[in-house]
Structure formats: C-alpha cells, structure tokens
Chains A and B, each alone.
Chain A
C-alpha cells in the first residue's frame, strides 16, 4: 500500500515538474506546479509529517500558487518566444544539470546506511513539533514574523501605483 502510494505520487510529482518545463504558457506551468505541491504533501504524510502536509497544501498549493495565478492573469502573460539566449541555455544547461544530477545520485546511492521508510514508524505529533517550536525556537519564530511584516511592507511599496510611472518619467 505504502509502495503504491509512493510510486503514484512520486510519478505525479515528476510528471508535474516535467510539465512545468515543457508547457509554453505560464498558466499551464502554474497549474502543474500545484500538482507537484499537492503530491508532495501526500509524500510528507507518508513520511509522518502531518503538520507539514497540511501546511504544504494551505501555504504552497493555496496561498502562493493563488498569488502566482493572480499575477499571471493580471499581467496577461502570453506564450514565451525562443531567443538566442534560450538556445544557448538549452545547449549548455542540460549537460551541466545532468552532470549535477549524476553527482548527487552517485552520492545518494553510495551511502550504505540510509535505511528505509515504513509507514508504521509513527507520525510525528504536532504537539511535539509545537513544543520545540514554541520553547526552544521561540526567538527564530518571532523573527520570522518581523520578516513577514517587512515582506508585506516591501510588496506594498514595490507594487504601488506611481512607483513605475516615476521611473518611466525620468
């Protein structure tokens, strides 16, 4: 059962990631990224990370991807065109990335004592996670709230009307 679930959702994940690369229109890429993130949430669940599975769906597949599709539709992004730069990137990028993947895969496959994952290993309880998060790591957690606040202010001031007009007027 565990194996079937893993194969189905790992396959969905890879198919979505490949589709993201192959589609010409950004909205299709965004929708395949949603597939990738949702199937990753199922894989997190298989690894016993129930809180992260929920957060993955809510934050990534929900909030972030809605933001992406919103911007794609707002800017009316069309199909992208092939240019000289993209041909060079294809010619140089694929061998380089294949080399990186080969190196990482060799390292992973050579490691002997990695062990295996079984479903009965137990789910990390959200209680334990929150205890560590709110006791030991309280300061980093509070700092992230400042980070989010700065991000909100930055996003508002960057996307404000008049910023771009000022640039164009110079």
Chain B
C-alpha cells in the first residue's frame, strides 16, 4: 500500500523540475524538453486521480494530452529548425529580434 500523496508529490516535483529547466537552461531544445517534462508530471497526477476515483476519463485526458504533446513536438521542432536556418544559433539569448 502506497499513500496516494507520494504519487502526487512525485508529480509536483517533476513539474517543478520542469519549470526550473525552462527558466535556467539556455538551449532552445533543452527548454522544449523541460516543457515535455512538465506535461509528464501533470499526466502522472491525472492517472493517480483516475485510479483513486475509478474513473476512466482521467486516463482519456492523459491520452489527449499525449496527442497534443506529439503535435506540439512536431510543430515546435519545425519552428526550431526554421529559427536555426535563419539565425544559425540555438541559444535563446541570441534570438532577440522581437525584443524592445
């Protein structure tokens, strides 16, 4: 028997590690991977609550999150390739064309 809160704490920790990665890392691809990490953390809490209340809809929500994440990864990586073609860098500090 494992307390449900352990799963939720793990999920919160994964989400927060994702935020840290998003803020601290300076590489465009690593920032994108941190976003995937945050999505995974949220998915874990969805599955945990779906288990607790014996509702299958929580799992279906995770399925939809996976679909959206796949679409997002495809479009995001295409944008990263386009940026790299135009600017020849992946460092977010150098991609500042729209900065005031």
Chain A residues in the interface with B (C-beta under 8 A): 2-3, 6, 10, 13-14, 17-18, 20-21, 26, 29-30, 33, 36-37, 40, 43-44, 47-49, 51-52, 55-56, 59-60, 63-64, 67-68, 71-72, 74-75, 77, 80-86, 89-90, 92-94, 97-98, 100-101, 104-105, 108-109, 111, 114-118, 121, 124, 128-129, 132-133, 137, 140, 144, 147-148, 150-152, 154-156, 158-159, 163-165, 167-168
Contacts and interface: CB of A to CB of B under 8 A. Distances in A.
A43 B50 CA distance: 13
Interface residues of A, dominant DSSP: helix
5 contacts: A3-B2, A26-B30, A40-B43, A64-B69, A155-B74
A39 B87 CA distance: 37
Nearest to A137: B60
Contacts of A29: 30, 33
A86 to B, nearest CB: 5
Interface in B9-38: 9-10, 12-21, 23-27, 29-30, 32-34, 36-37
A152 B32 CA distance: 18
B33 A33 contact: yes
Contact of B20 (A44, A84, A94, A151): A94
B6 to A, nearest CB: 7
Contacts of A93: 19-20, 23-24
Contacts of A151: 70-72, 74-75
Contact of A114 (B5, B10, B75, B92): B5
Contact of A167 (B8, B10, B16, B86): B86
